């Protein structure tokens, strides 16, 4: 990751841009984990190039997979052949909470001790549901927080899992149990948040020939010792990244067209354009292209964002310029992201004079407030950095501190904004 930097939005001249969004980080993380335990060589194309993906490729290499870069955005991954290593593997997940869950899943198949760690910030994120579940499935696990020391192989069995804080626990276990020695039954407790992400995982497993069976609405069965096979995959565009360009077009009161948009993605955020339609945006879609047009001032709405957590910052920024109130619900799980995304998002935006109220599970934005320039901190959160930058369309001169946080998921973000007509520059971090 680059050194600390601030980024100022100078001006914009957005005129109906056409944007092709890079591949999905969410899909890529799942494919990389599955490729690591698959037999043969998987090729991934349109692989996003960011810090999280780099960390994931490094991690599976340390566990015995072989990664070859064919060209930018194209890699071959030969799966692990020997599930025992000559010495303890020490994995650094950097700032990737997703990777910490998925690499734990891969590592649970090894008979060698593996230590999984991450940045200081990621050490604060909950891991107990994963560690306790793995213990019950026969894995030796040393602690409930990062760094975690574990030793498999995973045996399988029965486990109950609370999925009310994060769906990543469940996704990780689904991958971990594919090669377990016995069938695994997972009983789900609580309301599963971000359930669309679980469906992403199931779809990914299917692409590699794996099977997850639904026993009931609250119980899943993973058959034992599955033969997971290599795949050849073109990674679909990142629907979360597309949200920033949708918002930019609406804030600039123009149109924006997104090419190669993945309408069929089970990821909840792929339906974000429907939320914007409710607010007054005009929508035109074809098989793989989405166009949003500003036709009238946006209006506030009430909306459940439980399945679209990662676009909440984008929505809140838009809501600041909408007429009336926007009430966003079912978002308690945002407290466990790169930042406490409810508190940090709202507190930072209120520095501008916004009228944003929040509690543990909701945000209420009253639009149309008189705003004044103020530096905004990304709080080391890539989603906040990218959404805050959009304010510069309405408020030229806005400065986002710790702007390098975008490296986590979208290192070329500033370049993409430039292509759209939004000019930014690095400014003194003092």
H-state helical runs in 215-293:
239-251, 272-279
CB atoms near residue 429 (< 10 Å): 12
Question: In angstroms, what is the C-alpha Rg of the chain?
Answer: 21
Helix (H, G, I), strand (E, B) or coil at 75: strand
Tokens (6 digits) for 343: 């508190």
Report whether 244 contacts 269 (CB < 8 A): no
Residues 6+ apart with CB under 8 A from 216: none
Beta pairing partners, 150: 114, 141
Catalytic residue ranges: 310
- Distance, in Å, from the CA atom of 240 to the CA atom of 217, rounded to the nearest integer, reads 27
- Distance, in Å, from the CA atom of 339 to the CA atom of 251, rounded to the nearest integer, reads 25
308, HSE (Cβ side, Cα atoms, 13 Å): 26
DSSP characters over 21-46: PPBPHHHHHHHHHHHHHSBSEEEEES
CB atoms near residue 126 (< 10 Å): 14
350 burial via Cβ count (<10 Å: 0-12, 13-18, 19+): middle
**Residue 57 φ/ψ, nearest 5 degrees:** -65, -40
How many whole angstroms from its chain centre is CA 72? Answer: 21
| Run of H or E residues at 67 | strand 66-71
- Let me know how long the chain is: 430
Q: What is the DSSP letter of 347?
A: H
- Distance, in Å, from the CA atom of 295 to the CA atom of 375, rounded to the nearest integer, reads 31
- Distance, in Å, from the CA atom of 177 to the CA atom of 221, rounded to the nearest integer, reads 10
Tokens (6 digits) for 403: 């702007």
- Distance, in Å, from the CA atom of 119 to the CA atom of 125, rounded to the nearest integer, reads 10
- Distance, in Å, from the CA atom of 176 to the CA atom of 107, rounded to the nearest integer, reads 8
- Distance, in Å, from the CA atom of 181 to the CA atom of 148, rounded to the nearest integer, reads 23
Beta pairing partners, 422: 12
């Amino acid at each position: 990751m680059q050194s600390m930097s601030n980024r100022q939005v100078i001006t914009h001249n957005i005129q109906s841009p056409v944007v092709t969004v890079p591949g999905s980080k969410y899909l890529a993380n799942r494919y990389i984990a599955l490729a690591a335990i698959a037999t043969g060589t998987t090729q991934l194309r349109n692989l996003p190039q960011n810090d999280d993906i780099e960390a994931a490729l490094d991690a599976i290499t340390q566990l015995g997979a072989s990664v070859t870069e064919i060209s930018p955005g194209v890699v071959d991954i030969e799966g692990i052949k020997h599930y025992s290593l000559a010495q303890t593997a020490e994995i650094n997940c950097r700032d990737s909470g997703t990777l910490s869950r998925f690499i734990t899943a891969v590592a649970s198949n090894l008979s060698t001790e593996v230590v999984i760690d991450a940045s200081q910030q990621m050490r604060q994120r909950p891991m107990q549901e994963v560690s306790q579940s793995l213990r019950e499935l026969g894995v030796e696990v040393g602690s409930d927080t990062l760094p975690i020391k574990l030793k498999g192989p995973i045996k399988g069995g029965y486990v109950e899992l609370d999925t009310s804080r994060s769906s990543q626990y469940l996704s990780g276990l689904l991958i971990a149990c594919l090669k377990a020695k016995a069938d695994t039954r997972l009983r789900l407790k609580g309301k599963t948040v971000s359930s669309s992400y679980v469906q992403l995982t199931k779809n990914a497993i299917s692409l590699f020939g794996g099977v997850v069976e639904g026993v009931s609405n609250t119980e899943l069965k993973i058959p034992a010792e599955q033969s997971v096979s290599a795949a050849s995959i073109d990674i679909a565009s990142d629907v979360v990244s597309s949200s920033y360009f949708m918002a930019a077009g609406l804030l600039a009161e123009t149109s924006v067209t997104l090419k190669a948009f993945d309408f069929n993605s089970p990821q909840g955020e792929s339906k974000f354009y429907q939320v914007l339609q409710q607010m007054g945006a005009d929508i035109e879609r074809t098989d793989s292209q989405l166009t949003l047009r500003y036709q009238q001032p946006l209006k506030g709405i009430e909306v459940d964002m439980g399945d679209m957590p990662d676009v909440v910052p984008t929505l809140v920024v838009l809501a600041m310029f909408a007429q009336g109130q926007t009430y966003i619900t079912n978002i308690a799980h945002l407290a466990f992201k790169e930042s406490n995304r409810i508190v940090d998002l709202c507190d930072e935006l209120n520095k501008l004079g916004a009228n944003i109220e929040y509690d543990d599970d909701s945000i209420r934005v009253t639009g149309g407030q008189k705003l004044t320039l103020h530096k905004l901190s990304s709080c080391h959160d890539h989603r906040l950095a990218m959404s805050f930058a959009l304010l510069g369309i309405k408020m030229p001169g806005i400065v986002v501190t710790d702007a390098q946080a975008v490296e986590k998921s979208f290192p070329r973000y500033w370049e993409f904004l430039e292509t759209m007509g939004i000019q930014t520059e690095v400014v003194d971090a003092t």
